[in-house]
């Protein structure tokens, strides 16, 4: 099963919207959600590492 990172991001953004209180718990939860949102975005836009193909050395002509 493949993860739906876009949907996860949407729900996490909504959770942030509901945690707009001035209390310490809300602030702590927002910080934690920000970290999770960043991790989801990193996973969503991760690209596989490219394979580097070495080129033969060019001959030096004088």
Using one digit for the tens of pLDDT, what is the confidence trace for 15-55? Answer: 999 999 999 999 999 999 999 999 999 999 988 888 988 88
**At a CB cut-off of 8 Å and minimum separation 6, what does 39 contact?**
none
Q: What is the mean pLDDT of residues 5-24?
A: 95
Give the span between the Cα atoms of 22 and 40, in whole angstroms.
Answer: 26
Indicate whether 62 pLDDT > 70: no
What is the pLDDT confidence band of residue 58, given thresholds at 50, 70 and 90? Answer: confident
Domain ranges of the chain: 5-44
Indicate whether 60 pLDDT > 80: no
Closest CA to 19 of 35, 34, 38, 39: 34
Give the span between the Cα atoms of 45 and 13, in whole angstroms.
Answer: 17
**Helix/strand/coil (H/E/C) assignment for every residue in 42-54:** HHHCCCCCCCCCC
Higher pLDDT, 57 or 10: 10
């Amino acid at each position: 099963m493949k993860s739906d990172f876009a949907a996860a991001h949407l729900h996490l953004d909504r959770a942030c919207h509901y945690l707009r209180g001035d209390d310490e718990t809300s602030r702590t939860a927002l910080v934690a959600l920000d970290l999770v949102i960043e991790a989801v975005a990193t996973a969503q836009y991760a690209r596989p590492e490219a394979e580097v193909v070495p080129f033969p050395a060019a001959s030096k002509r004088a």
